Amino acid sequence: MKAMVLARLGNLADHPNPLTLEQLPDPVAGEGEILIRVSACGVCHTELDEIEGRTPPPRLPLVLGHQVVGRVVAGGAQSGRFALGDRVGVAWIYAACGDCKFCTSGQENLCGGFRATGRDAHGGYAELMVVPEPFAHAIPESFSDSEAAPLLCAGAIGYRSLRLTGLQDGQTLGLTGFGASGHLVLMLARHRYPNSQVFVFARSPAEREFARELGAVWAGDTEQRAPVRLDAIIDTTPAYRPVLEALRDLESGGRLVINAIRKETADQSCLLELDYPEHLWLEKEIKSVANVTRADVREMLELAAEIGLHPELQEYALPDANRALQELKQRKIRGAKVLRLEG
């Protein structure tokens, strides 16, 4: 099979083409696994975190990609939930132990044995991949392959983030950063909380305009102050500075939810500016988002189908994965980026 392979870690500024197109042996489905012929795979900022070493894979070489859509072409022993030809998706959660206190309480995203697709196991930047069958998801018919791909991570993690805000209809919501996840959260919020106003913070004028097109009542730079205090804010940026800016904008008793697997360290010194009375006093909260559960993915897919949510996206051929990653790094974003394979 053809695959885009990561062989070494490094900053994209120094290594602009970290992935190489290679011919690899076709994988074989083991016990309880299914083999998928990939038709689409979303491109996520987490891949930049992997490539640049902030959440490094345990071993190299590796095939990245954790927003995977394709069709089942084979099943190993003890599989059978899906039939040959069924369209399925694979998200960031590749496996969990199933037995620990987190798995048995619906918090498998916190499992110590959590394994991530495209980090702890080969992912979807390839023509074929295998996955444990219980961790594959049926894809609703209302989505094309490319539309479904971003829902599996950008959508699912955005859905989890929105739930964790505890937002009530009529309260104000801020979104800091406006990439794939942000634009999906805005559409979700407008449906679930019709009386809530959404305020967007983004560095790019194009992203701010896109946010207004999707229904944001206000859009400004990440260092601008919102015109009103916000009851909840979701931060999806890779930097620390927006965290401080968001805390300034929070209403008393408000909650900041940080949806980022890692933060880059370039501006970490700004945390020394943390001022307790301004940033944290009056019962403000900070909560991080860690991974997703299978329930998050399933519920997001069902909700997106129910409300007719269709991501805005840009498609790339598999050999153009490096270009898609560079554009993501440079914030050349409008919605989601998706690798399209022939499938």
- Give tens-digit pLDDT for 75-114: 999 999 999 999 999 999 999 999 999 999 999 999 999 9
CA-CA distance, 171 to 198, in Å (whole number)?
9
Q: Are the CB atoms for 88 and 138 separated by under 8 Å? A: yes
Tens-digit pLDDT string for the chain (343 aa):
999 999 999 999 899 999 999 999 999 999 999 999 999 999 999 999 999 999 999 999 999 999 999 999 999 999 999 999 999 999 999 999 999 999 999 999 999 999 999 999 999 999 999 999 999 999 999 999 999 999 999 999 999 999 999 999 999 999 999 999 999 999 999 999 999 999 999 999 999 999 999 999 999 999 899 999 999 999 999 999 999 999 999 999 999 999 999 998 888 888 888 889 889 999 999 999 999 999 999 999 999 999 999 999 999 999 999 999 999 999 898 999 999 997 5
Q: For 200-210, what is each residue's pLDDT tens digit?
A: 999 999 999 99
Strand partners, 201: 176, 220
Query: How many angstroms separate the CA atoms of 154 and 166, rounded?
Result: 19
Q: What is the value of pTM for the model shown?
A: 0.95
Phi, psi of 47 (to 5 degrees): -60, -35
Fold of 2-139+312-340: Quinone Oxidoreductase; Chain A, domain 1 (3.90.180)
DSSP string covering 253-294: EEEEEE--S---STTGGGGGG--IIIIITTT-EEEE-----H
- Beta pairing partners, 128: 37
User: Which of 159, 186, 164 lies closest to 335 in space, CA to CA?
Assistant: 186
The pLDDT of residue 69 = 98
CATH 1.10.3720.10 fits 156-288, yes or no: no
Helix axes 180-192, 205-213, angle to 10 degrees: 20
Angle in degrees, CA 184, 106, 109, rounded to 5: 60
Domain range list for the chain: 2-139+312-340, 156-288
